[in-house]
Structure 1
Amino acid sequence: MAKKKMLKNKKTHYLNPLANLECKNHWDFRDAVGLICQCPSPMDYAFVSGENDFSKTYGAFKTVWDIIKEALIEKKIQLVSGKLKGLSVNPLIDTPKEALILDRDSFLLWYSQNKDKIKQYLSCGNLSIRYEEFLDRLAKENVQIKSP
């Protein structure tokens, strides 16, 4: 029988948002996407200053956003609460905080199975996985916990 790490969804006192996420077994959709993709604000800067081709940057971000949505629809990532209808069509329009709550373990499993694809899509816009080491560590711990 596999041992499961028991986490509590309680308010934590950590000032570091990563430490707070590590202590929870459910994640807000925006937090989960934010761990993978850089926030849109650097993209806005690139658009305004003309330093990058905004369509490439936005396209890479939007593609990752879309594959996460597809994983939710296909139930590869478990939805704990909320409805997909509550998700913004446009990633630059904020989805309300806690509109969708995801199961952390299924998200980490999906991430580990799709990491190479995610990296490739992000690289098209000169982006990278924002918190790759953090996600890799949690995914590795998650796999070890579920192993017999």
Structure 2
Amino acid sequence: MNEFNKVPSLETLERSNNWGFGDAFQLLCDYTNILANAFHSGKSGFIKIDTALRDVWTTIEDSISDGKIGVKSGRLVDLSEGLLLTENLNIVVIDKKSFLSWYRRDKQKIVQHLSYAGLEIHQEGFLDRLAKMEPLKTPHPKTNRVKRDRLREDYISSVTKKFKDNPDLRFPDFNNDYRLQKLIRESGLPEDKHPKDSTLQGWIREARKKAKVKPKRGKPVKK
């Protein structure tokens, strides 16, 4: 492990008012051990682990950008190279209290991201205790239809915004978009129930109408 990313003891973290980004991420994901063994999981296993960790990472980043998690020092841009390439994950120091408030609100989302790779929150008991949470109760399960309807709304809303920023976008641009793929994973739909390309194309057409932009004629130019 990089010397910058050595994780303090739980006792030290509990006494501290601020946490390094890397320390908080470790509490959620145990990334140091997971990454060390990920290469033995085969290609598909590694991709799932990488995706799950990246989804948690970007969720924390988004929450910092939205002001839900306070930053005491450092800049979010200092983490822009991502988990594998950032030398010192603790270069950004976050406010523990706001992080725990965010955790209390969005814990289910983190659970969903990690479950994509069969993972669980690493120090769940510790974080729950500090956040003064009751163990997650199993809610009345949402049907796949409800999940799909919610996904449709979120997907169309996101694509509409993208069209307003760039009216010339085409289906391949959306099909390979990380944020849109993350929306699909967050939906909670089983993989065999994920929307097919034909369905996504229909949603994209709806988004285009909402954005009031016309499709660009002609085939895309190969670069």
Q: CA deviation at 1:39?
A: 1.6
CA distance in 2, matches of 1:108, 1:22: 11
1:66-145 aligned at under 5 Å gives the runs: 66-96=58-88, 98-140=90-132
Aligned to 2:46: 54
Report the secondary structure of 1:91's partner residue. helix
TM-score, structure 1 as length reference:
0.77
TM-score, structure 2 as length reference:
0.53
Provide structure 1 residue ranges, at least 5 long, that are not aligned to the other structure. Answer: 1-15, 142-148
State the aligned residue count.
126
Deviation per residue, 1:34-54 (Å, 9 max, x gap)? 110122443342324528611
1:17 lines up with 2:9 in the alignment: yes
Structure richer in helix, relative to its length: 2
Structure showing greater radius of gyration is 2
Bigger relative contact order, structure 1 or 2 (CA pairs below 8 A, ≥6 apart):
1
Structure 2 CA distance for partners of 1:136 and 1:49, relative to 1, 3 Å: closer
Structure 2 CA distance for partners of 1:49 and 1:66, relative to 1, 3 Å: closer
Q: Calculate percent identity across the aligned residue pairs.
A: 40
Farther-moved stretch of structure 1 (104-113 vs 80-89): 80-89
Residues 26 and 103, structure 1, Cα contact 8 Å, conserved in 2? yes
Q: Which runs of 4+ in 1 moved over 3 A?
A: none
Residues 86 and 95, structure 1, Cα contact 8 Å, conserved in 2? no
Q: CA deviation at 1:97?
A: 5.1
Report the secondary structure of 1:86's partner residue. helix
Deviation per residue, 1:38-81 (Å, 9 max, x gap)? 22443342324528611111100100000000001111000011
CA distance in 1, matches of 2:110, 2:41: 27
Report the secondary structure of 1:102's partner residue. strand
Q: CA deviation at 1:105?
A: 0.3
Residues 48 and 116, structure 2, Cα contact 8 Å, conserved in 1? yes
Q: Kindly report the root-mean-square deviation, in angstroms, between the aligned alpha carbons of the 2 structures.
A: 2.0
Provide structure 2 residue ranges, at least 5 long, that are not aligned to the other structure. Answer: 1-7, 134-223
Q: CA deviation at 1:21?
A: 0.1
Q: Which amino acid aligns with 2:130?
A: L
Report the secondary structure of 1:70's partner residue. helix
